[in-house]
Chain A
Amino acid sequence: MSYFIPTAAEQIPPAEVAEVELYHPRSWVTKYVFSQDAKVIAIQYAFTAISIGLVALVLSWLMRLQLGFPDTFSFIDANAYYQFITMHGMIMVIYLLTALFLGGFGNYLIPLMVGARDMVFPYVNMLSYWVYLLAVLVLVASFFAPGGPTGAGWTLYPPQAILSGTPGGAGGGIILMLVSLALFIIGFTMGGLNYVVTVLQARTRGMTLMRLPLSVWGIFVATILALLAFPALFVAAVMMTFDRLLGTSFFMPAIVEMGEQLKYSGGSPILFQHLFWFFGHPEVYIVALPAFGIVSDLLSVHARRNIFGYRMMVWAIVVIGGLSFVVWAHHMYVSGMHPYFGFFFATTTLIIAIPTALKVYNWTLTLWRGNIHLTIPMLFAIAFIITFVNGGITGLFLGNAVVDIPLSDTMFVVAHFHMVMGVAPILVIFGAIYHWYPLMTGRMLDERLGRFHFWVTFLGAYSIFLPLHYLGFLGVPRRYFEMGETSFIPESAATLNAFVTVIALIVGFSQMVFLFNLVWSFFKGKIAERNPWGATTLEWQTPEMPPGHGNWGPTLPVVYRWAYAYSVPGAEQDFLPQNLPPEKVTANEGLERPPAAAVQPAE
């Protein structure tokens, strides 16, 4: 008797929800512009996010030029510098990372990976993108507002954010920023509801929750976090707009600005910080969880090995998501909040390290005893682990209240969050683009350009941010236009800053190579085979590649097993696609039959 006669683990339940008729586009405009197809919307999201991300990249060069070579560039003054850092931070966190992971990868991968024809609410999904685009346009408009964009730092702390001592505070800059955020949240909410409902409602037959690829789990939980966290930012943005425009005092106490008594009274600046970080900390995981999920899949596919400890990985994602709502005030140890909060938030913050560490162990254990193909997605995945562990452990410094006291607002913080939520997730984005580009376009990205891009980006980014930690130890503050005369900062710190700037420009250049690769390969790249990486997940099993309208042809796929059936003993194939019927699995008589429990974790 062959092992591959369907066992309990490979049975499929009957469909519980009938299929819903799709919207069919009739013209070029409804197919490619006002499209309701999640795949097109995903590309639109990704294109917009990367475009605005390039603005943030250029801003980072400008600020690095100032830090590396102060007093050199006539076009960078303190005003402009603060605007650069603010817009760079805001664009990267919200308009690039959040939008690209959830709007881009979420839209593309969720319906395909769960075996759905599209999102559950395609029209709302389309609206989501257009409201996001509007938010980006309002953000861009703030560059042209009188007085320029806001320079309040991406945290937008009042009172300074809406006072005249801050760039854009008295002009339109801050208002456009707040309006843009509110629009972004409205747009995101429409998309986010879609992702959650689609995962819960539109999975195909046999696709149980515990058979979902971890990419979907990561995006799913991150979306839930975002739906719960963004309203806090929305409220804060609305209140601050009122404070600025109507003279209310939500966040504004009695203030004497430049010798003049302002009319505000009774508000609390710390209240804003609580609202901001109640959003802001889950935001870190809104970016990190999709990266966790995607990198798990990249490691598994390219190491030809099941993800190690799938169930623990799922639970870790859920636990991290839950805990991320009770750690926010670790950003506020020096804010002047009640000091006893420190005990609570330090404890919760360090506890969150435990499930996170478990994920790291399981990633490395996925490599262990694997059959590792050092493809470009795999390289990026490995680099992610290194930068993420590095950034994660510096988080253990900053999360521990007493260690945070000397380090907060130094370059150490800058280095920490760039490593953990800048470099690490972006490496995953790159890996994911190299991995799924063939699916999206039918062509492979160029290998040599990719390797060049990988090595320069990984080693460059690491050597940018590693030394900055040490400037932080020294006591170099963040958000300083220039250091001026400071007795405790040696001359060598300026040399280091110049070095970092040069590396940053080189890393920036290698991103141009990546963009070139995206465009060049689209027209001239090697034609991709079907399922070029040998992946089990459903997105590679569509009848056409790239997947067509409605994804699946006449009938929906049926799922027989989990997403990680790589190198299953007893099967001749290296991988068993999720929808491969058990009778089509070729048994390899030479191998021993595994115990039934080993095939897939029980549900």
Chain B
Amino acid sequence: MTILGIVVVLLAIGAGLYAASRVVPGARNWVLGGFTAVIGLGGLFVAAGSGVDSPVGYYGGLAFFVISVLIVFYLVKLTFDEGYAPAEAPALEGSSSRPVAEAIMTKNVVALALVLVAVGTVAFHFLSPWWWTPIASNWGYVDDTIIITFWITGVVFIAIIFFMAYCVFRYRHQEGRRAAYEPENKKMEWWLTGLTTVGVAGMLTPGLFVWDQFVTVPKDAAEFEVLGQQWQFAFRLPGKDGMLGTSDSRNISSENPFGLNPNDANGQDDVLIEGDDLHLPLDKPVKVLLRSVDVLHDFYVPEFRAKMDMVPGMVTYYWFTPTRTGTFDVLCFELCGIGHYAMRAKVVVEEASAYQAWLEEQSTFAQTLARARNDTGEELYQVLSEGETDSAERGLARWDSN
């Protein structure tokens, strides 16, 4: 598929170059040069594709590339030497004797190109298969604001290009033409400023309304926490008491990866999910509390349309209501180091009953801590016996302070 696409593009370029050579005389060298360049690029791809392991493809491709570069530069030089040799005068005569229609076409090619850019942009917009994922949260207003913005700015964009194309077509240089002298036109400038202000207000007003909703968390939103660290997400849900326990990154250790306060009663029944999918109930507003232990991360599900960075040293938040069941990809959306692109998770949105059943199966902080203490007791002993006192001492010191 990819290769087919490249071939089509290359053919299109070739056809374009050929067409150009028909319109502009003496473009043969350019066409040849263009093709050679394209073939040279192909050589580069061959070299890259086969890698050092297959020397024929690798060095062959590279040689192809180098040779084609040299040929291109030679062709360019050739063209220029031809162009500036004494043969220059006849060449100019030749161009002036071209048919009038062709000359006009060449002159208007700029206006035509501008129109094509505008039309192409609109066509691409409507034909593009790449568009929003179907929404799965309450933030349809966000999409609406974008559509309003699209219409207002799109109309302006197309109008400006068409106006320029008209100007280039209508006021292109001709013998005897003289530009109008008009330093300014205050009335027109104020009108344009006023209209622009109206357009801007048309985008800003809905934007601020929706932003107000975005930053105002409903009172009945259920809280859950996302914890980011290089390079994974972990989740914490309140237990039966409906409260999340307090936390501090100074509490973090291998047996307490969330850094929960072991003395906080609210935290004992918190449900901890590590290395597994997050589940959320359908149609219930949720407030996401975001925390990071190391660097900036960002918890984003494209279908939910809402995101916020996770910042070490503070708790950030946003809210949304899942409105569609399904399994969605979670991606980290703030560069967080070399594993950024691999920092993923999944969210499962399901009916309340299925959600409750899933919740029952998860283990709480108290359970994981008890289990971890049993495990690490042995580990600690092993570490000490192997003589790695440094990390063990720090581990012990933390125990004492607690």
Q: Which residues 42-94 in B have Cβ within 8 Å of A in the complex?
A: 45, 48-49, 51-52, 73, 76-77, 79-80, 83-84
Set of chain A residues within 8 Å of B296, measured between Cβ atoms: 157, 159-160, 269
Judged by a CB distance under 8 angstroms, whether B6 is at the interface is yes
Judged by a CB distance under 8 angstroms, whether A509 is at the interface is yes
- In the complex formed, the residue of B with least CB distance to A159 is B295
In Å, the complex CA distance between A336 and B133 comes to 25
Set of chain A residues within 8 Å of B171, measured between Cβ atoms: 303, 367-372
Judged by a CB distance under 8 angstroms, whether A560 is at the interface is no
Contact residues on B (Cβ < 8 Å of other chain), bracket = 35 or more
Set of chain A residues within 8 Å of B316, measured between Cβ atoms: 336
- In the complex formed, the residue of A with least CB distance to B303 is A488
Judged by a CB distance under 8 angstroms, whether B219 is at the interface is no
Judged by a CB distance under 8 angstroms, whether B114 is at the interface is yes
Given A78-B338, A367-B168, answer yes or no on A256-B181 (Cβ-Cβ < 8 Å): no
In Å, the complex CA distance between A261 and B290 comes to 20
In Å, the complex CA distance between A165 and B141 comes to 38
Set of chain B residues within 8 Å of A511, measured between Cβ atoms: none
From B214, B311, B340, give the contact of A336 (CB < 8 A).
B311
Set of chain B residues within 8 Å of A310, measured between Cβ atoms: 183-184
From A336, A354, A397, A400, give the contact of B308 (CB < 8 A).
A336
A480 CB to closest chain B CB (Å) equals 4
From B167, B200, B308, B335, give the contact of A372 (CB < 8 A).
B167
Set of chain A residues within 8 Å of B1, measured between Cβ atoms: 491, 495
In Å, the complex CA distance between A334 and B394 comes to 36
Q: Please indicate which of the listed interface residues A360, A403, A568 has the most CB atoms of chain B within 10 Å of its own CB.
A: A403
Task: Assess whether A166 is in contact with B337, with CB atoms less than 8 Å apart.
Answer: yes
Set of chain A residues within 8 Å of B185, measured between Cβ atoms: 308-309, 365
B399 CB to closest chain A CB (Å) equals 14
- In the complex formed, the residue of A with least CB distance to B3 is A498
CB 8 Å contact bits of A300-314 with B (1 = contact, 0 = none): 000111101111100
Task: Assess whether A256 is in contact with B293, with CB atoms less than 8 Å apart.
Answer: yes
Q: Please indicate which of the listed interface residues A153, A367, A459 has the most CB atoms of chain B within 10 Å of its own CB.
A: A367
CB 8 Å contact bits of B115-155 with A (1 = contact, 0 = none): 00100010010001111110000010110011001000110
Task: Assess whether B132 is in contact with A347, with CB atoms less than 8 Å apart.
Answer: no
Given A340-B215, A491-B1, A495-B2, answer yes or no on A406-B164 (Cβ-Cβ < 8 Å): no
Q: Which residues 494-533 in A have Cβ within 8 Å of B in the complex?
A: 494-496, 498-499, 502-503, 505-506, 509, 513, 516, 520, 524, 526
Set of chain A residues within 8 Å of B302, measured between Cβ atoms: 406, 474-475, 488
- In the complex formed, the residue of B with least CB distance to A497 is B2
- In the complex formed, the residue of B with least CB distance to A574 is B178
Q: Which residues 429-485 in A have Cβ within 8 Å of B in the complex?
A: 446, 448-449, 452, 455, 459, 462, 466-467, 470-471, 473-475, 477, 479-484
CB 8 Å contact bits of A388-416 with B (1 = contact, 0 = none): 01100110110011110110111000000
CB 8 Å contact bits of A72-116 with B (1 = contact, 0 = none): 111000110010000000000000000000000000000000000
Set of chain A residues within 8 Å of B337, measured between Cβ atoms: 160, 163, 165-166, 169
Judged by a CB distance under 8 angstroms, whether B306 is at the interface is yes
In Å, the complex CA distance between A569 and B264 comes to 85
Q: Please indicate which of the listed interface residues B113, B171, B207, B306 has the most CB atoms of chain A within 10 Å of its own CB.
A: B207
In Å, the complex CA distance between A594 and B183 comes to 12
Given A335-B311, A368-B167, A372-B167, answer yes or no on A484-B342 (Cβ-Cβ < 8 Å): yes
Set of chain B residues within 8 Å of A401, measured between Cβ atoms: 207-208, 211, 214
Judged by a CB distance under 8 angstroms, whether A133 is at the interface is no
Task: Assess whether B298 is in contact with A409, with CB atoms less than 8 Å apart.
Answer: yes
A412 CB to closest chain B CB (Å) equals 10
- 30 A-B contacts (beta carbon < 8 Å): A82-B338, A159-B296, A160-B294, A160-B336, A163-B337, A165-B231, A166-B295, A253-B249, A253-B312, A261-B252, A269-B312, A306-B181, A343-B208, A354-B196, A361-B189, A364-B167, A369-B182, A374-B110, A382-B114, A403-B207, A406-B142, A406-B302, A455-B113, A462-B117, A483-B341, A484-B342, A502-B6, A502-B41, A509-B41, A567-B180
Please list the residues of chain A having a beta carbon within 8 angstroms of any beta carbon in chain B.
65, 69, 72-74, 78-79, 82, 151-153, 157, 159-160, 163, 165-167, 169, 253-259, 261, 266-270, 303-306, 308-312, 334-336, 339-340, 342-343, 346-347, 350-351, 353-354, 357-358, 360-362, 364-365, 367-374, 379, 382, 385-386, 389-390, 393-394, 396-397, 400-403, 405-406, 408-410, 446, 448-449, 452, 455, 459, 462, 466-467, 470-471, 473-475, 477, 479-484, 486-488, 490-496, 498-499, 502-503, 505-506, 509, 513, 516, 520, 524, 526, 564, 566-569, 574, 594, 598-601
**Given A364-B163, A396-B149, A462-B117, 4 new contacts (CB under 8 A):** A256-B249, A334-B333, A357-B196, A402-B208
